[in-house]
């Protein structure tokens, strides 16, 4: 009797995987039908893909070139933001080290009092709020880039990749992490 109960329990977990698809065609052989057209599920150079919003659908050659230039500039902006964040982090950590050295009196040095080293930087609202805003801006750009790549439009993808490369070429040398090689 236990085997029958066990078999029924196991079958109850397996059968939902064979459930009906609720009338949805799950084949991926062709383009996905959307409200305003088709979404090609392969890499392509054709125009007409929605870029982030329903109204942003570059259909003409000029609109495609404009969208690609905009994506190129956004990719450069992303690398500039990354460099600014890294430089600010470097500057903030250096200023905290200097402040820690300046705050030690000669009496504390002789007595050994105050030899405690800070493990984490202090919360300084102007630093931490700026860090958070810049990180959020970078995250937003990265999610927009991800959505752009998901259009499978090669012009958009190449614009982003080339823009990121140009941005790193322009701003990468200013990042403190660039000198760690």
- Output the pLDDT for position 181: 45
Tokens, residue 101: 């050295």
Looking at residue 31, what is its pLDDT? Answer: 54
Sequence-distant (≥ 6) Cβ neighbours of residue 173 within 8 angstroms: none
Q: Does residue 107 form part of some domain?
A: no
Domain count, the chain: 1
Average pLDDT along the chain, 181 residues, taken 10 residues at a time? 62 53 54 58 84 89 94 96 91 75 62 63 86 94 95 94 96 71 45
Give domain status of residue 113, yes or no: no
In a domain, 2, yes or no: no
DSSP 114: T
Q: Partners of 174 in the beta sheet?
A: none
CA distance 92 to 37: 50
The residues with which 44 forms a beta bridge, in sequence order, are 153
Taking the whole predicted model, whether its pTM rises above 0.85 is answered as no
Residue 117 forms part of a structural domain = no
Question: Domain span at residue 157?
Answer: 61-101+122-175
Q: Is residue 129 part of a domain?
A: yes
> Does residue 72 lie within any of the structural domains?
yes
């Amino acid at each position: 009797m236990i085997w029958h109960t066990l078999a029924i329990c196991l079958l109850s977990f397996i059968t939902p995987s064979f459930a009906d698809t609720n009338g949805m065609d799950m084949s991926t052989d062709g383009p996905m039908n959307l409200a305003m057209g088709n979404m090609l599920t392969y890499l392509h150079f054709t125009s007409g893909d929605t870029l982030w919003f329903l109204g942003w659908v570059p259909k003409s050659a000029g609109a495609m070139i404009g969208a690609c230039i905009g994506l190129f500039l956004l990719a450069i902006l992303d690398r500039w933001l990354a460099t600014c964040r890294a430089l600010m982090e470097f500057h903030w950590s250096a200023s905290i080290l200097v402040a820690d050295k300046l705050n030690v009196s000669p009496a504390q040095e002789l007595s050994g009092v105050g030899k405690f080293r800070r493990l984490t930087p202090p919360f300084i609202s102007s630093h931490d709020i700026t860090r958070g805003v810049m990180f959020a801006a970078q995250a937003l750009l990265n999610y927009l880039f991800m959505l752009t790549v998901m259009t499978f439009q090669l012009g958009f993808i190449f614009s982003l990749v080339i823009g990121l490369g140009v941005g790193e070429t322009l701003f990468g040398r200013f990042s403190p992490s660039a000198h760690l090689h």
